[in-house]
Amino acid sequence: MQQDEKIARDQASFLSVDELLRRAIQSQQDWTEREALALLHAAPAEALQDPRVHQMMGLLHRSLDENEAALGHLGKAAMLAPADARIAHGLAQVTLDAGLDARDAFSRAAALAPPRDRQLQLSHVGALLAAGSANAAETMLEAELHQEPGWAEGHAALVRLRWQAGEGDASWRTLRAAIDHRPADTGLWRELILGLFHAKKYTAALAAARTGKAACPPDLFFLSIEAACLDELEQYDAAYAAFLNIGRAADAGVALHFTRHLLHAGRPDDAAAVAQAWTGQPGAQHFWPYIATAWRMTGDARSQWLEGDERLIGVHDIGARIGALDKLATFLRTLHSATSHQPLEQSVRTGTQTSGRLFARIEPEIRALRAAVVEAVKAHVAQLPPVDPNHPTLGIRPPDIRFSGSWSVRLTGEGHHSAHIHTQGWFSSAFYVAVPGDMDATDPHAGWLTLGDQPEFRDCPPAFRTIRPRPGQLVLFPSIMWHGTRPIHEGERMTVAFDISPGPMSRVRT
């Protein structure tokens, strides 16, 4: 270690601050942040008085989910440059990521930022929600949208906020009013239609798509979503004709909707042909789940190559490494109290899901869980089959364990997850914190995890594996594998879930 520190000091002594910062920025792209941190720590004393150096050190620690250290460096940067808006924003964001009350930090950042810094405003809304100030968050968004009614991203945030508060159809009231005054605004129509589509309000989404198409300049989005709505409404002949009208696979989004339609309509061979044309393109991870289903439906032997190796799925008991699960459950319930309804765009049905990056928080319960998870994931990766460059999962070996997302889900009543996949992950997960106490008595398979099935598709084979949830158990599976849960009937089913990042962009094969 001392030799490494000497090498870092020698290197840093010959580099300007600008070059040190350039290397640090590059390190975030190729996952070499620790090397960059070593260089920055070894920089000459005068360099360590540059607020940009501490700002960068804070951001590098944030990339590593080390937010206690990140807060220290960004706090130092803010002391050295109290009028720097970007540093203030970074400090506020890391405060929020860490699970601390970030409202004052965002207010300070907003006072320094240019007017209508939209990313800052959306993060500020997140801080208000995390602190239990949903009314203040709604008021802030309403005020900004009154000033700029064409801010589509702000409308989307307000819809999500209201939906998770349980407002149902009223969630879109401000957005609809904005469209009344800006009827040719494609961005506003897009947010309305996609919101209705994600809420499975397909009849309303279809009507909106047709009205928007007539009011706005020509746009492929309207044609594609109209065809997708017809498909979801089981108007398969009309959907097929609509897809033919736009060229079937005009772009990746159209091709994906068309693939879904073909599976819904019971045409798996055609679905596989459309999807396989995109496996060598960016975004191929969106298509592989549909190929997997099509191959299983047709009895294609390649389905065994894609999903059949039992080493792809891992079940690990990590409860003993974490300690008292009841303490973790109690803490997680405080996070779930921020919302009362399922997210608009997620798989949760009758339950709640936490926002933000759970594993970025600094509470000891979360740090202990994260550490145990990392060790389990490393063990799972170590036993995987050999690298196969043609395989969408086995063709990837990230150089480190990083999380592209982490959250908790709490199901109650008839809560469950609909079948879904995670397109931003390499491996995904379910860690069971709590399950209903009398689960076996009410339904032997209530709350079980299902892998491989997608009941939406006609004649789709049943799950090829089901797993009984047990507290302290971690299940790992490829992110492109369909997964869902069977409904519970009463009590509480609480999990922590995460996606493992597939690695730096330069290393990801698709």
Confidence of residue 8 (pLDDT cuts 50, 70, 90): low
Instruction: Give me the mean pLDDT over the 238-251 stretch.
Output: 86
Token duo for residue 420: 């879904």
Confidence of residue 323 (pLDDT cuts 50, 70, 90): confident
Residue 141 in domain: no
**173 shares a domain with 117:** no
Buried b / exposed e along 244-275 (16+ C-beta atoms within 10 A) = eebebbeeebbbbbbbbbbbbbebbebbbebb
CATH number at residue 105: 1.25.40.10
Instruction: Give me the mean pLDDT over the 292-305 stretch.
Output: 97
What's the pLDDT at 508? Answer: 42
**Residue 409 in contact with residue 495, Cβ under 8 Å?**
yes
Domain end marker among 130, 147, 177? 130
Amino acid at residue number 117: D
SS3 category, 428: strand
**329 shares a domain with 279:** no
Confidence of residue 324 (pLDDT cuts 50, 70, 90): confident
**105 shares a domain with 31:** yes
Is pLDDT of 426 > 90?
yes
Counting the structural domains of the chain, the total is: 3
**295 shares a domain with 347:** no
Domain end marker among 236, 267, 300? 300
Is pLDDT of 509 > 60?
no
What's the pLDDT at 12? Answer: 57
**503 shares a domain with 384:** yes
What's the pLDDT at 510? Answer: 35
Is pLDDT of 249 > 60?
no
Confidence of residue 437 (pLDDT cuts 50, 70, 90): confident
What's the pLDDT at 489? Answer: 85
What's the pLDDT at 282? Answer: 87
**218 shares a domain with 193:** yes
Residue 205 in domain: yes
**295 shares a domain with 324:** no
Instruction: Give me the mean pLDDT over the 459-471 stretch.
Output: 94
CA distance linking residue 280 with residue 285, whole number of Å:
10
User: What residues does 451 pair with on adjacent strands?
Assistant: 465, 483
pLDDT (tens digit per residue) in 16-28? 899 999 999 999 9
Residue 135 in domain: no
Q: What is the mean pLDDT of the chain?
A: 92
User: What residues does 466 pair with on adjacent strands?
Assistant: 450
**269 shares a domain with 193:** yes
pLDDT (tens digit per residue) in 200-229? 999 999 999 999 999 999 999 999 999 999
**288 shares a domain with 356:** no
pTM for the whole thing? 0.93
Greater model confidence, 335 or 344: 335
**314 shares a domain with 290:** no
What's the pLDDT at 250? Answer: 64
Tell me which range, 8-22, 56-70, 494-508, is most confidently predicted by mean pLDDT: 56-70
Is pLDDT of 3 > 60?
no
For 319, other C-beta atoms within 10 Å of its C-beta total 19
Residue 274 in domain: yes
Residue 148 in domain: no
Buried b / exposed e along 481-509 (16+ C-beta atoms within 10 A) = bbbbbbbbbebbbbbbbbbbbbbbeeeeb
**123 shares a domain with 189:** no
What's the pLDDT at 507? Answer: 43
For 91, other C-beta atoms within 10 Å of its C-beta total 26
Residue 140 in domain: no
Residue 379 in domain: yes
DSSP string covering 180-229: HH-TT-HHHHHHHHHHHHHTT-HHHHHHHHHHHHHHSS--HHHHHHHHHH
* Range(s) of the domain holding residue 421: 310-507
What's the pLDDT at 342? Answer: 72
Least confident of 89-98, 150-159, 452-461: 452-461
CATH number at residue 413: 2.60.120.620
Residue 170 in domain: yes
Domain end marker among 244, 279, 300? 300
Give me the sign of the Cα torsion angle 130, 131, 134, 138. negative
**325 shares a domain with 226:** no
Instruction: Give me the mean pLDDT over the 253-263 stretch.
Output: 96
What's the pLDDT at 506? Answer: 40
What's the pLDDT at 131? Answer: 95
